[in-house]
Amino acid sequence: MTIRAIAQIGEPVLRQPAREVSAEELSTAEFQGFIDDLIATMRHAKGAGLAANQVFEPVQVCAIEVADNPRYPYKPNIPLTVLINPKLEPLGDDTFENYEGCLSVPNLRGVVRRHAQLRVRALDRDGQPLDFEVRGISAGTFQHEVDHLWGKLFVDRVEDPTTLCTWDLFHQYYEAAVRERVKQVVERWGA
């Protein structure tokens, strides 16, 4: 496995919609090795997720995992999930505000509105269909990663630019309130 470089805001690949992955390509040892690299890079950077175009490969693949992540100590755990060619469908009109950061936008956080409940359809890394629902804070994580595959960054979805702040100032001024908001979201919609 190789730890790959993570594209930073301004890199054209981050604004490029990713192409679909064919079943033939997915089954190759080379592509499976790429998925291993994507996961290793996400874990090394302590990310909650990582999309392929964040490591300079514009293909529709993302990995998501939250396991007592020190960057996001308030986020509910999500088991390792690899999505190939994902499609998200909002379930209902409920939304919530989520303070987000990104490995491709280092040292910056901001408030983004996300759907509270989603249906997720994709293939797993073995080409098997996935079809499940995700709610609350975890739904926000899935939307953030799939946005990358369409060339969108969380900063594009920030409605109020006065919510933008550095990581240090987030911890100093806003994290306590965010922890409380996360509890409320989890109580209402689940993880």
| 102 annotated as belonging to a binding site for a ligand | yes
Residue 7 CA to residue 9 CA, distance in Å, equals 7
Encode 17-40 in three state secondary structure.
Answer: CCECCCHHHHCCHHHHHHHHHHHH
| 148 annotated as belonging to a binding site for a ligand | yes
Beta-bridge partner residues of 126 = none
Q: Is 20 an active-site residue? A: no
CA angle (57, 59, 62) in 5-degree steps: 90
| 115 annotated as belonging to a binding site for a ligand | no
Collect all residues with Cβ–Cβ distance below 8 Å to 45 and sequence separation of at least 6.
6, 103
Residues across the chain = 191
Q: Are 95 and 114 in contact (CB under 8 A)?
A: yes
**Residue among 57, 65, 100, 145 flagged as catalytic:** 145
| Residues involved in catalysis | 145
Q: Which residues are annotated as a binding site for Fe cation?
A: 102, 144, 148
Q: Which residues are annotated as a binding site?
A: 102, 144, 148
